[in-house]
Amino acid sequence: MAALRRMLHLPSLMMGMCHPFPDSLAGSCLADRCLWDRLHAQPRLGTVPTFDWFFGYEEVQGLLLPLLQEARAASPLRVLDVGCGTSSLCTGLYTKSPHPVDVLGVDFSPVAVAYMNSLLEGGQGQTPLCPGHPASSLHFMHADAQNLGSVASSGSFQLLLDKGTWDAVARGGLPRAYQLLSECLRVLNPQGTLIQFSDEDPDVRLPCLEQGSCGWAVTVQELGPFKGITYFAYLIQGCH
CB 231 within 8 A of CB 223: yes
> For the ranges 6-10, 25-29, 94-98, 158-162, which has the lowest average pLDDT?
6-10
pLDDT at 45 over 80: no
- The residue range of the domain holding 208 is 85-238
Rounded Cα distance between 9 and 6, Å, is 5
Q: Does residue 129 sit within a domain? A: yes
Q: Are strands 217-226 and 101-107 parallel, antiparallel or unpaired?
A: unpaired
Strands 229-237 and 157-163: unpaired
- Residue 73 in domain: no
Q: CB under 8 Å to 228, separation ≥6 — which residues?
A: none
Residue 44 DSSP label: B
Domain membership of residue 75 (yes or no) is no
Q: For residue 182, give the CATH number of its domain.
A: 3.40.50.150
What percent of the chain stands above pLDDT 70?
Answer: 77
Q: Give the pLDDT of residue 42.
A: 67
Would you state the pLDDT for residue 53? 80
Q: What pLDDT does residue 10 have? A: 44
Please compute the mean of the pLDDT values over residues 68-92 and round it to a whole number: 89
89 lies in some domain = yes
- pLDDT tier at 32, thresholds 50, 70, 90: low
Asked whether residue 26 is domain-assigned, the answer is no
Residue 78 forms part of a structural domain? no
Q: How many structural domains does the chain have? A: 1
Average pLDDT, integer, range 200-220: 96
DSSP assignment, residue 23? S
Residue 174 lies in a domain: yes
The reply to whether 206 falls in a domain is yes
